[in-house]
Amino acid sequence: MCLHSFIYPSSFHFILHCFFTFFFYYSFLNSQKKKKKKQIIFLLLFNMVTVSKPLIEQFLVKPNTSPLVIPDIPLIDLSKPESKQHLVKACQDFGFFKVVNHGVPLKFINKLESEAVNFFNSPLATKEKFGPPDPFGYGNKCIGRNGDVGWVEYLLLNAKPESDYPENFQGIVNDYVTSVKTMACEILELLADELKLQPRNVFSKLLKDEQSDSVFRVNHYPPCPEFQENERNGSKLVGFGEHTDPQIISVLRSNNTSGLEISLRDGSWMSVPPDSESFFINVGDSLQVMTNGRFKSVKHRVVANGTKSRVSMIYFGGPPLSEKIAPLPSLMQGEEDSLYKEFTWFEYKKSAFNSRLSDNRLGLFEKIIAS
């Protein structure tokens, strides 16, 4: 059952809520000084407008046009010698690809998913002991601090081994993250090899650094049966709104429920078929900058399901906060101009977290090149 069914089981309850909300704010208003009254009146109006809007509508997006041509998602076998050529091509053309023969033990994957399901099936009061996120912890429907919402609950965790996790997560998360990080570093080194970069750890050393600002996220998109009424007219239930990932590389794995979509160059959205035994890789904004735009950070989103639960796990490989991010000189050809201003990861992270999900975060750091 959807959340607002518990809040307003009838119109009478909604009217009753509005009455008591108005009474509370009116009484409080009379006790305040004049300079605070305008702020309180705004809060009253905001509260009345917000609760009068059915909760489900906050998460709906209109149907988009279908892509004229549905491309194949690059599938790369990491055990093959030619994988590095395919990796570079996928990063240039898509910024997104699927990998198999990745070396992550299945037991680590299954244990973590099982523990995640147990956690999200816990009573809300139990989960809220680990929230609100600041920035790490449990969150529910509110994403960030700038008004983004989604039909999702999540755990955001520090990827460092000594970090505090909810009970039963500690060893499991460490095993999983260590293995996934190894795979991510292997991919970054294969990319460096194909680009003829020296040293070959020019990207991967940023993830291996003790001060690496990497994070790990577990998302749960619960079913919402009420959404089925809106599904018939083509609407979609937003689980996690459209965005790019600001870090260097993201490694995603989910159960066999669909939901992930990527934005194509024509502006349409393509659904990504789920595959619980493979991993999906996103180029992050920082890697796009370091390659001076050769690799593309792909915009993506998640739409939730009316009847099925989706669980996803994402490792975001980030550099140390003090690391300077700029196009690599060894990649610049001839008189090629740098497309981006140099910035530290701390500066970009701060800017990204002060923006909305769908904002063009790199726009503030792009150089204006004279034609």
Tens of pLDDT, residues 274-317: 999 999 999 999 999 999 999 999 999 999 987 899 999 999 99
Range with lowest mean pLDDT among 22-31, 102-111, 202-211, 253-262:
22-31
pLDDT of the residue at 307: 87
pLDDT of the residue at 224: 85
The mean pLDDT value of the chain amounts to 85
Instruction: Give the number of other Cβ atoms within 10 Å of residue 127's Cβ.
Output: 20
Q: Which residue has the higher pLDDT, 92 or 49?
A: 92
pLDDT of the residue at 68: 60
Cα 282 to Cα 367: distance, rounded to the nearest angstrom? 24
Segment 330-359, tens digit of pLDDT: 999 888 899 999 999 999 999 998 999 999
Judged against a pLDDT cut of 90, whether residue 37 lies above it is answered with no
pLDDT of the residue at 17: 46
- Taking the alpha carbons at both ends of the chain, their separation in whole angstroms is 57
> How far from chain centre, in Å, is Cα 77?
25
Q: How confident is the model at residue 61 (pLDDT cuts 50, 70, 90)?
A: confident
Q: Which residue has the higher pLDDT, 275 or 60?
A: 275
pTM: 0.83
Cα 310 to Cα 237: distance, rounded to the nearest angstrom? 13
Question: Distances from the Cα of 103 to the Cαs of 100, 203, 358, in angstroms?
Answer: 8, 20, 33
Give me the mean pLDDT over the 43-70 stretch: 57
Question: Distances from the Cα of 330 to the Cαs of 166, 292, 316, 336, in angstroms?
Answer: 44, 11, 25, 11
Instruction: Give the number of other Cβ atoms within 10 Å of residue 243's Cβ.
Output: 20
Question: Mean pLDDT highest for which of 24-38, 178-192, 323-337?
Answer: 178-192
Closest CA to 317 of 244, 243, 213: 213
Give me the mean pLDDT over the 77-89 stretch: 96
pLDDT of the residue at 41: 44
Q: Which residue has the higher pLDDT, 162 or 318?
A: 318
Question: Mean pLDDT highest for which of 159-168, 185-194, 223-232?
Answer: 185-194
Question: Mean pLDDT highest for which of 19-28, 51-60, 163-172, 343-352?
Answer: 343-352
Q: How confident is the model at residue 235 (pLDDT cuts 50, 70, 90)?
A: confident
pLDDT of the residue at 334: 82
Q: How confident is the model at residue 197 (pLDDT cuts 50, 70, 90)?
A: very high
pLDDT of the residue at 46: 38
pLDDT of the residue at 233: 64
Return the SS3 of 13. helix
Q: What residues are labeled active site?
A: 310
Give me the mean pLDDT over the 259-267 stretch: 91
Cα 309 to Cα 223: distance, rounded to the nearest angstrom? 5
